Amino acid sequence: MVVQAAHNLWVPIVTLLIAFMLSALPMLEWVQWGWPEWVLIVFIYWVIALPHRFGLGWAFILGLLLDLLQGNHLGVNALAMVVVTFFAMLMYRRLRMYRAWQQAFVIFVLVAINQCISYWFQGIGSNASSGLWFLLPAPVSGVLWLWLFVVLRGVRRAFKVA
């Protein structure tokens, strides 16, 4: 996790910062329901691309920051991020080989897991219930991945992040 100029690690950090800003943008209510999990999918990209640099420690800290930003109970997003990152790390080799739509499907499943964990742990003792709408960011994130993957790969190559 040591940031060295030669590896250009500031690039992923900037993309993650942008992801944080996107996730905090004020939105119309119906857009909010389907708003993709920007931080999670950007981070998954960097885990797949550079698994020796981005691991569970990063996932935990990013999740914690997300909790603070969204006012969730501390640790909810941290747990979800750690679990999802663990899965991503187990299969990053396979993911790299997959075709775009196969990757998108895996992202869909990973984001769905993330949504389930954060929804269950956040919802303890609350009387909010809106069916399965909380899963909507999962398909949206999957579709977004097709585009995001190309963009982030371009960024990684342009800046020679290693």
Interacting residues with other proteins (CB under 8 A) = 17, 20-21, 23-27, 29, 32-33, 35, 51-52, 55-57, 59-60, 63-65, 68-76, 78-79, 82-83, 86, 89-90, 119, 121-128, 130, 134
Gap between the Cα atoms of 57 and 119, Å rounded: 22
Least distance to other proteins, CB of residue 105, Å: 23
CB nearer to other proteins: give 32 or 102: 32
Contact criterion met (CB below 8 Å) for 54 and 43: yes
The DSSP annotation for 16-62 comes to HHHHHHHHH----HHHHHH---HHHHHHHHHHHH-TTTS-HHHHHHH
CB nearer to other proteins: give 8 or 72: 72
Least distance to other proteins, CB of residue 29, Å: 6
